[in-house]
Structure 1
Amino acid sequence: MTFLAENTISGKEGRLFLDGEEMANVKKMEATIEKEKTEKKIMGRRWISNKTIGLKGTGTMTLYKATSKFIKAILEYAKTGKDVYFTAQSVLDDKGAERGTERVTLYRINFDSTIIAQLDVDSEGLEEELPFTFEGADLPEELLLTF
């Protein structure tokens, strides 16, 4: 099958849900799983081999400032010592691409930092970037079509 330009998936056609609530103010979200590896030298081989021994999930959300939700979460930890974890679902569904829908669920999202106060006289709209870690992911059987 030939790849057609209209099959390119637009990131604008995505949605993000955090604990079941749609985050209408999300501008950008990216999550990455990185393998942790250990090197193994094997007698008689010049190449160093690698063995995967773990995974680490990291990401970033960029949001238009519209809520104090994340300030509240970090202050909850500051006051009580109880950390707050979230579950997120990213839904990518570009009807124009006709490739299907992709839903990725991220478990135990924990935000690393948040801006607690921000003013900007030149801003047309405040944004906040929230780096995070996560501890698990799932991709249901509904996948984007292959060629």
Structure 2
Amino acid sequence: MAKFRAENTINGREARLFLNGEEIAYAKSFEATIEKNKADVNILGNRWTGKKTTGLSGTGTVTLYKVTSRFTKMILEYADSGKEVYFTLQGVLDDPGSGRGTERVTLLNCNIDSVKIGQFDVEAEALEEEVPFTFEGAEIPEALKEDF
């Protein structure tokens, strides 16, 4: 069995985020989750409720330093034209100190759920905005190493 070493952990600061191929340098954090949608299946003679996977749904959140109105403009484009704005997000983990390799996670058909239209905070040293979104597909063209 391989022995885990602390140096194999990945420094989260070594990540980068891209929107339609353009790096979002003002991103602070990124998280995406794929959840299985399941239907209950009751079976005669069995007290347990079975589960049947019927599909998937993807949700995520990007936290950004407030330095642009880019995401607000995406929502307003829909408000003005009725045309939805879809985009691709790609998160890249590449910590050269860990030796685990590079992981690229690409999220397809991303669509914003909500944005703050205005924000002020006299106590904040740096304003942040959280942008929740959904996505309809994912790829991992490069993955971290499986063995130590």
TM tier, shorter chain? over 0.9
What is the total number of aligned residue pairs between the two structures?
146
Higher strand share: 2
Gaps of 5+ in 1: none
Question: Which residue in the other structure is 1:53 paired with?
Answer: 54
Q: Deviations over 1:37-70 (max 9, x none)?
A: 0011222323221110011100111000111111
Deviation at 1:5, TM superposition (A): 0.6
Alignment match, 1:88: 89
Mapped partners of 1:81, 1:73: distance in 2: 11
After TM superposition, give the deviation of residue 115 of structure 1 in Å: 1.1
Deviation at 1:117, TM superposition (A): 1.4
- Please give the TM-score of this superposition, normalised by the length of structure 1: 0.95
- Correspondence for 1:36: 37
Q: In 2, distance between residues paired with 1:25 and 1:80?
A: 28
- Alignment partner of 1:144 is 2:144: yes
1:115 & 1:22 partners in 2: Cα distance?
22
Q: Give, in whole Å, the separation in 2 of the partners of 1:83 and 1:41.
A: 39
TM-score by length of 2: 0.95
> Which stretches in structure 2 are left out of the alignment for 5+ residues?
none
Question: Is 2:7 the counterpart of 1:2?
Answer: no
Structure 1 residue 28 displacement after superposition:
0.5
